[in-house]
Structure 1
Amino acid sequence: MFEQSEHPHRRFNPLCGDWVLVSPHRAQRPWQGQLEIPATAVLPSYAEDCYLCAGNSRINGERNPQYRQPFVFTNDFAALTEHTPAYQHNEDDLFILQSAQGTSRVICYSNDHSRTMPELSQLQILQVIRSWIDQYQQLSQQYCWVQVFENKGAINGCSNPHPHGQIWASNTVPTLPAKADSAQRQYLQTQGKNLLLHYAAQEIQKAERIVVQNEHWLVVVPYWASWPFETLLLPLSPIARMEQLNHAQQLALADILQQLTIRYDNLFQCAFPYSMGWHCAPYTPAGDDQPDNLAHWQLHAHFFPPLLRSASVKKFMVGYEMLAEVQRDMTPEQAAARLRAQSNVHYKTPIAKLKSQGADHAQC
């Protein structure tokens, strides 16, 4: 008899059309490979040599303001620039090139150098959410895609430990969001349903992969998850873009982000690394941006953590993953159960801090 928690199988990802190989029995294999250094160091609330701390000078000589709320500025080493000359080249449909215009911004979550998102109060997370919304509103006036994301932890390539995220905007829709746009549009056309709204309803009914849920939001380890403790964050009502969130939905989002990231940290008792990012409906020229044209899109966030068995063992996407298809060593159901079992109180939080966070939440 086939047992999905023991036997190899493949799962389909309807957002991109890819398959994932699941090999649950491999989770027991001995590990003699590379060990990472867990992110357990206690950082100061201010660091003189940090380019992102309030009041400090950045590498280009500009001085940060004495900010107390989220601070956004143009990246000093921007991956996209606004004034790139327009250019296209196509030779035999094999050597195709086009110039890219855009901008890259950095968002410092708070002035406290030591506090990552799970250690912020809900009020502080709410301020981050409202900064995201403000950036979407600004950048969508000029660009068709706005990508909000965060790389947390040195293991994920983060070059500065000060808690921060990034916002890149471009004049073209990137590859992965374009696939998600096509898949959601096709699902609505063929099934008559919004793909991710329908998926959220099914996950709630099955209750196998839910990590945490509140009135307006759901976090699951998706059925097709690639990374060991990957999660998908979904609104429970039709929302195509973050700017559409009302006050109650914003408050609930702050709550769900805090709950999820606390569970991540508690899992291996470390500052849990991940890459996360939001996908919302692309922005289109005036006249095309009508509600009917957004009915297929559902706002969602992906969390892709690289840790596998412990704070020191990383999941590597190499070999078969690079040459064939993604493979994972535990089922999404097993991963969800482990995350769901974690406390919603951060492992470093004393009772005094809990009372302080409750006071902040009351101000929301």
Structure 2
Amino acid sequence: MRRTVTKLADGRELIYFDERDDVVRDEPDRRELPPPPPASQLRYDPLLDEWVAVAVHRQARTFLPPADQCPLCPSRDDRRSEIPASGYDVVVFENRFPALSQRIADEPPGVTPFTEIRPGLGRCEVVCFTDDHHAAFVDLPPDRVRTVLDALADRTAALAELPGVEQVFCFENRGVEIGVTLHHPHGQIYAFPFVTPRTRTMLAAARRHAERTGGNLYADVLAAERAAGDRVVAENEHWTAYVPAAARWPFEVHLAPHRPVPDIPALTDAERDAFGPLYLDVLRRFDGLFDMPMPYIAAWHQAPVRVDRELAHLHLQLFSIRRAADKLKYLAGTESGMGVFISDVAPERAAQLLREA
């Protein structure tokens, strides 16, 4: 794989990940662009011990443009996009409308004695999986999935070195039902200046388990699921895809390596090669459930940069809000208000349907 770093017209970084070593990337960005916006505000919620990002400039971000105006397609002579090249394999670049960035403005005072405000230090990147606007991740060949995984590993390691970054989160949203604003197949990476609430909760549970048993909680749960078997959807030598016994979403699958590793960079070549075929198989099963493209979120759970890395176990959480061919799951009062999920589909039934799809 050939890695080429360049700059866009406004100074943002763009990185090509090419599958051929002889590719030359010297196309300049010929657009005239305003400077990137300053970092957002982070406001501390003392009632939940959580940070909220306030990024007002994101109101102006591109929203569902037609295909001939897609900013993630390759550039043409008559239309310049975010990618200057006329074709590409995988590209990563700094988001033009980031929730977090390294461009720090003056730090404002807190709004109350209890609500600290600080700059939204970090970084947000866009990952384009292919230059084919009409493709989807499920259409990629396994070797392209490997290229994507290598790019995520590269960016996870690089972003972890940035000042103030505490956690790197890679994810993909698919489908307007989920809330995507660009149809082109792509994902995103957020480098957070704090450990996210969900990860803190998972690590606290893992810490209690380690103190009580000496084991890794996720690894022990994975072993139990593999032994039970009734919620396993698919597996190979290095990975298992299973529906969690307490799945929150109608269709939710975890893909986990059998070897406990903290993050994507820690995966071996064999583990990276084995991921693509299994993931593509699960995605095809998702689409086959109702014979239509399944809206989903694919979220990589990685260890924090500096703390509790030994407690974590890398895994990909894939879930959909579609609960039937003609029904979506909307978060109700108990779920949005109290965080108590009520599942519409039994996990065992979901696993059976996915195996049969």
1:79-116 CA distance string (max 9 Å, x none): 112122456738453x3433320111100101111221
Deviation of 1:283 (Å): 0.6
Deviation of 1:318 (Å): 1.6
Residue of structure 2 in register with 1:107 after alignment? 127
Residues 316-331 of structure 1 aligned to structure 2 (within 5 Å) = 316-324=330-338, 325-331=340-346
Q: Does the 8 Å CA contact 2:99/2:120 hold for their aligned counterparts?
A: no
Which protein has greater RCO, CA pairs closer than 8 Å, 6+ apart? 1
Q: Report the AA paired with residue 328 of structure 2.
A: K
Residues 89-168 of structure 1 aligned to structure 2 (within 5 Å) = 89=110, 91-93=112-114, 95-142=115-162, 143-168=165-190
Deviation of 1:328 (Å): 1.1
Alignment match of 1:235 (pick from 233, 257, 266): 257
Q: Report the AA paired with residue 149 of structure 1.
A: F
Deviation of 1:48 (Å): 2.4
The whole-number CA distance in structure 2 between the counterparts of 1:79 and 1:327 is 31
Q: Does the 8 Å CA contact 2:216/2:311 hold for their aligned counterparts?
A: yes
Q: Does the 8 Å CA contact 1:50/1:56 hold for their aligned counterparts?
A: no
TM-score under structure 2 length normalisation: 0.76
RMSD of the TM alignment (CA)?
A: 2.2
Does the C-alpha gap of structure 1 residues 186 and 65 become closer, same or farther in structure 2, counting only changes over 3 Å?
Answer: farther
Q: 2:270 aligns to what SS in structure 1?
A: helix
Residue of structure 1 in register with 2:49 after alignment? none
Does the C-alpha gap of structure 1 residues 62 and 235 become closer, same or farther in structure 2, counting only changes over 3 Å?
Answer: closer
Residues 1-364 of structure 1 aligned to structure 2 (within 5 Å) = 47-55=67-75, 62-85=82-105, 86=107, 89=110, 91-93=112-114, 95-142=115-162, 143-284=165-306, 294-310=309-325, 312-324=326-338, 325-342=340-357
TM-score under structure 1 length normalisation: 0.74
Q: How many pairs are equivalent?
A: 288
The answer for unaligned runs of 5 or more in structure 1 is 1-45, 343-364
The answer for unaligned runs of 5 or more in structure 2 is 1-65
Deviation of 1:282 (Å): 0.6
Does the C-alpha gap of structure 1 residues 88 and 335 become closer, same or farther in structure 2, counting only changes over 3 Å?
Answer: farther
Q: 1:328 aligns to what SS in structure 2?
A: coil
Q: Does the 8 Å CA contact 1:185/1:297 hold for their aligned counterparts?
A: no
The whole-number CA distance in structure 1 between the counterparts of 2:317 and 2:215 is 21
Q: 2:184 aligns to what SS in structure 1?
A: coil
